[in-house]
Amino acid sequence: MAGERRPSVAIGITGASGALYATRTLAALLEQGVHVELVISDYGRRLLRDELGDAAAVDQLLPFLTDRYGGGVSAGSINVHSNRDLGATIASGSHGCRGMAIVPCSMKTLAAVAHGLSRNLIERAADVMLKERRTLVLVPRETPMSLPALRNMVTAAEAGAMILPAMPAFYQHPKTIDDLASFLAGKILNALGFEQRLFEPWKGGE
Ligand SMILES: Cc1cc2nc3c(=O)[nH]c(=O)nc-3n(C[C@H](O)[C@H](O)[C@H](O)COP(=O)(O)O)c2cc1C
């Protein structure tokens, strides 16, 4: 399948804790044959290595994903952009990206998205999603949260973003941190309009 014909999604990784959420989301999208336009902030790059080790450095990311999640990731494709490149495809609304998730999303990037700053490619691509009325999923992680951060979430939600906090649930009886990451990645896939097989949907009960 040619890259252009795949469903295309932008993923931003910023410097909040939870790099595993990003790698699980990336792998799950790739397994479904999605083309991912990937942008990682400077602190996002640092968090990938701090939390997942040197093997998860950006230039090793595809082998890392294959090693950790299996060869199914080769069904999709990734195009990595510099966060400084405001001339990249996804900086324009004419690019056919169907949606974007920023996972994890730092309070700094949340603030920038809420206020439309567009200073780097992650912020600009997020603003493009809002102006084009496409899906923008923000996965903030911080605790406790300051009043400015809480207000910025409301502002971003009012502008059309979905706030999907990095809050895994426990009704799935997770056994490993990968189970926790899979739950969140499944929620992100659903929010982006994809089916997910990462966790069993709740079937109801007493
Ligand atoms: C080890 C480490 C963990 C961090 N965790 C968080 C976090 O969970 N949430 C957050 O908002 N910022 C966190 N930060 C701070 C952000 O990385 C920092 O504000 C940075 O400027 C964010 O920039 P970015 O949004 O361009 O990646 C962390 C920083 C470090 C070094």
**What are 71-120's pLDDT values in tens digits?**
999 999 999 999 999 999 999 999 989 999 999 999 999 999 999 999 99
pLDDT of residue 3: 42
Distance from residue 204's CA to the centre of ligand 1 (Å)? 37
Whether 166 and 18 have beta carbons less than 8 Å apart is answered as yes
Alpha-carbon distance of 26 to 161, in angstroms, equals 20
- Mean pLDDT for 148-164 is 98
Alpha-carbon distance of 154 to 160, in angstroms, equals 10
The protein residue with its alpha carbon nearest to ligand 1, atom 16, reads 15
In the predicted model, is pLDDT for residue 2 greater than 70?
Answer: no
pLDDT of residue 205: 76
Establish whether residue 41 lines the binding site of ligand 1, counting it when its CB lies within 6 angstroms of any ligand atom: yes
- Residue from 50, 84, 108 to probe ligand 1 pocket by mutation (most atoms less than 8 Å from CB): 108
- Residue from 13, 17, 82, 122 to probe ligand 1 pocket by mutation (most atoms less than 8 Å from CB): 17
- Mean pLDDT for 161-165 is 98
Residue identified by tokens 């495809």 is: 89
pLDDT tens track for 15-33:
999 999 999 999 999 999 9
pLDDT tens track for 173-191:
999 999 999 999 999 999 9
Distance from residue 108's CA to the centre of ligand 1 (Å)? 8
pLDDT of residue 206: 67
| 43 Cα nearest atom in ligand 1 | 27
Establish whether residue 36 lines the binding site of ligand 1, counting it when its CB lies within 6 angstroms of any ligand atom: no
pLDDT of residue 1: 44
Alpha-carbon distance of 125 to 140, in angstroms, equals 17
Alpha-carbon distance of 121 to 154, in angstroms, equals 22
pLDDT of residue 200: 86
Establish whether residue 152 lines the binding site of ligand 1, counting it when its CB lies within 6 angstroms of any ligand atom: no
Establish whether residue 98 lines the binding site of ligand 1, counting it when its CB lies within 6 angstroms of any ligand atom: no
The protein residue with its alpha carbon nearest to ligand 1, atom 5, reads 16
The DSSP secondary-structure symbol of 47 reads: H
